Structure 1
């Protein structure tokens, strides 16, 4: 005689069945959590990569922006040294040295300087402009030698204008206006201001030697 068949009700009531059922649910929950974790990990990794790229872009931008400032302190120091060197070598030490230098150049070139007048211009930074206005006469080659001497002299001279005023025999006469600079403390207090009119007008200037 065969044993009694197990009914469905009995199977559902069996602890083993519920054990399998619970295990299946647990596996399903683990699978869902694993998928969720994978998705979250992927999103986090993508966000981290984006943040890293953004930081790299910001860093590169800052490097480009700050590139002109690199070594700025040294460049400023070098510029100051060059300015001081220029002042020491090419700016006259005092008012009288201007007259001595132009006089020496006139003797070397053979020209004649007359009616030399000095005026005081504006002060810019650490220097005050000094204008020299005079008549110069001599042969053409002598005058050119004098002008070249001014331009090449260790003292900084800047030729503002030259105007032809006459010629007699082989001698040429010119009106010459030249600028140089002095430190404000070295400018004589009696120098009148440089007029704003053209060099052809006679300024109320101090005569050399006054």
Structure 2
């Protein structure tokens, strides 16, 4: 007599069947977790690459921004040395040095200076501007030699204005205003302030060579 066939219900009730079913479910869960882990790893790796690129960009930007500051301390020291050298060589020691320099240029060029006036301008930092206002007359070449002498003089002169005032025969007359600078303690007490808009006309007259 043959054994009784196993029914579907009996198969479902079999521990072996539930074992296989549990194993299949576990395999599906593991596969799902593996897929999720792979996706998360890919996203994390991409995010890390983006963060690294951003940091590299920030670093390059900082390098560009800080480039002008490199060696700044050395450049500051060099600038201070150049300023001190300029003061020592180009800024006159006193009013007499200015008058002597202008007088020497007048003699070399042969021009005639009249109504020479010195006035005191504004003080900026550790220097006070000194204005020289005068009338200058002579031949054209003489005047150009005097003007060029001012521009090339060891004493630092800046020509503020030069206006034509007349001509007689071969002689030309000009009104000239020139600036130079003195250290505040070296400014003579008799100098009056330089007017803001027009050349000084009330300061004591001082001829070159005094």
Distance 1:39 1:166 in 2: 94
TM-score, normalised with respect to structure 1 = 0.84
Task: Label 1:3 to 1:154 Cα distance change in 2 as closer, same or farther (>3 A).
Answer: same
RMSD between aligned alpha carbons? 2.5
Alignment partner, residue 204 of structure 2: 206
Task: Label 1:17 to 1:99 Cα distance change in 2 as closer, same or farther (>3 A).
Answer: same
Q: Which moved more, 1:101-110 or 1:5-14?
A: 5-14
Q: CA deviation at 1:168?
A: 4.5
Alignment partner, residue 141 of structure 2: 141
Distance 2:186 2:151 in 1: 23
Q: CA deviation at 1:119?
A: 0.4
Task: Label 1:47 to 1:121 Cα distance change in 2 as closer, same or farther (>3 A).
Answer: same
Distance 2:196 2:16 in 1: 116
Distance 1:40 1:172 in 2: 92
Alignment partner, residue 104 of structure 1: 104
Distance 1:165 1:176 in 2: 10
Matches within 5 A, 1:1-210: 1-199=1-199, 203-208=201-206
Task: Label 1:142 to 1:41 Cα distance change in 2 as closer, same or farther (>3 A).
Answer: same
SS in 2 for 1:87: helix
Q: Which has the higher contact order (CA 8 A, sep 6+)?
A: 2
How many residues matched?
208
TM-score, normalised with respect to structure 2 = 0.84
Distance 2:198 2:6 in 1: 130
Task: Label 1:120 to 1:16 Cα distance change in 2 as closer, same or farther (>3 A).
Answer: same
Task: Label 1:13 to 1:188 Cα distance change in 2 as closer, same or farther (>3 A).
Answer: same
Task: Label 1:45 to 1:164 Cα distance change in 2 as closer, same or farther (>3 A).
Answer: closer
CA offset digits 1:32-83 (Å, max 9, x no partner): 2112212222222232233223333333333343333333333333332322
Task: Label 1:27 to 1:197 Cα distance change in 2 as closer, same or farther (>3 A).
Answer: closer
Distance 1:8 1:173 in 2: 132
Q: Which moved more, 1:143-152 or 1:53-62?
A: 53-62
Segments ≥4 residues shifted beyond 4 Å: 166-169
Task: Give ranges in structure 2 of 5+ residues lacking alignment.
Answer: none
